[in-house]
A and B are shown apart, each in its own frame.
Chain A
Amino acid sequence: MLMVMLGGGLGAAARFLAQEAGQHWTKLPGWTAILAANILGSLLMGIGYGWLHGLVVLESHEALDAIQRYRDSQSIHEGMALLLAGFCGGLTTFSTFSLDNLFLAYRKRGQLVCNILGCLLLGIIAAWTGLFIGGQLA
């Protein structure tokens, strides 16, 4: 429980720092920081999950089962699984993404399409790449 909280707190703080950095050092609109955080989080989740998945032979292949299994186990990887679920979950966000989409839908339709397609496609590609890298690591 503590590990999930720790990971979530660190992830949320990292997401906020990305937003701040994006605003102070670039002239990109605010939603691009969330887009970057979502893609990076998806990549990390893929790597971590692929790595944990590679360490154990699972009977079922349902997504996130490796994390679930390590979460219930007493092994040293339990903490890793919890930290991963907390940190990646905290770094990425769906609510801010939707709120940004709502505002973009009123004012900037082109950026709305960029945001949705970018997040979806790049997020999926990032998770897929991460799974591949994580599988190689294990």
Chain B
Amino acid sequence: MMRFLQLILCIGFGGGLGALSREGSMSLLHGQLGMPRYIALACVNIIGCLLIGIVFAFLEGTLRRDGSSRLRDLPHSRQLHEHPWWPEGDTTLSPVELLRMNRSLQAASALVITGFIGSFTTFSSFSLLTVQQLQQGAALEACISVVGSISLGLLAAWLGVHAGCRLVRKP
């Protein structure tokens, strides 16, 4: 129970910082640089996808189920083709669950992945913006926003996972 409360505190703190950075980035991109709001939001979301890929691969990629490293003894070319370090079972559980065999990594993932990056990116403003674009008849902009965000977000996560694997690779 204490452990759970500590994790919640980590997530709350990270989430607060993430929300603050999101507002800061939005006011920089939208307010200072004058980008349209949907493009500024897409930029923030895509940066977050890149970051989550890097951090997740960096934390999860280093571990076997017993807590020892898996990536270090494999050549990089094989790592991603065979996904030897891919989490077993359900890969979409929260990183806090996937990393429960190592407490410090679990706390780090709670703070950074679930808290900071999870709160830095947002879906609610994205769907609200899309609804308003549709209501105003700006279907083209809505399409660009939706297709661009989702495909570039997926690409960014993939790139991030590759970059994260490189970070843990033994030279």
Instruction: Report which A residues bind B (CB closer than 8 A).
Output: 1, 4-13, 15-17, 19-20, 23, 29-31, 33-34, 38, 41-42, 44-46, 49, 61-64, 85-86, 88-107, 116, 119-120, 123-124, 126-128, 131
Q: Are B52 and A8 in contact (CB under 8 A)?
A: no
Contacts between the two chains (Cβ within 8 Å), count: 228
* Partner of B92 from A4, A29, A44, A45 at Cβ < 8 Å: A29
Given contacts A63-B133, A89-B119, contact A4 B23 (CB under 8 A): yes
B93 proximal to A (CB < 8 A): yes
Question: Which residues of B have CB within 8 Å of A38?
Answer: 123-124, 127
Contact residues in A for B150 (Cβ distance below 8 Å): 98, 101, 116, 120
Which of B93, B121, B158 interacts with A94 by CB under 8 Å? B121
> Complex Cα distance A34/B90, Å?
14
* Cβ–Cβ contact B123 & A97, under 8 A: yes
Chain A residues with Cβ below 8 Å from B51 are 95
Decide: A9 near B154, CB < 8 A? Known: A95-B48, A95-B52: no
Interface residues of chain B, those whose CB is within 8 Å of chain A, are 7-8, 11-20, 22-23, 37-38, 45, 48-49, 51-53, 56, 83, 86, 90-94, 96-97, 110, 113-115, 117-134, 136, 146, 149-150, 153-154, 156-158, 161
Residues in A with CB closer than 8 Å to B56 are 99
Distance (Å) between the CB of B135 and the closest chain A CB?
Answer: 8
Take A10-B12, A13-B8, A86-B19 as given contacts and tell me if A20 and B94 are in contact as well, using a CB distance cutoff of 8 Å: yes
CA distance A15 to B97 in the complex (A): 14
Contacts of B153 in A (CB 8 A): 94-95, 97-98, 101
Cα-based distance from A94 to B52 in the complex (angstroms): 10
- Per the bound structure, the CA–CA distance linking A126 and B7 in Å amounts to 30
A41 to B125, CA, bound (A): 9
- Expressed in whole angstroms, the Cα–Cα distance for A102 and B56 within the complex equals 12
Q: A103–B13 contact, CB under 8 A?
A: no
Contacts of A85 in B (CB 8 A): 19, 23, 125
**Contacts known (A16-B94, A106-B83); A98 close to B154, Cβ less than 8 A:** yes
Q: Is the CB of A93 within 8 A of B122?
A: yes
Q: A20-B94, A102-B157, A102-B161 are contacts. A8–B132 as well, Cβ < 8 Å?
A: no
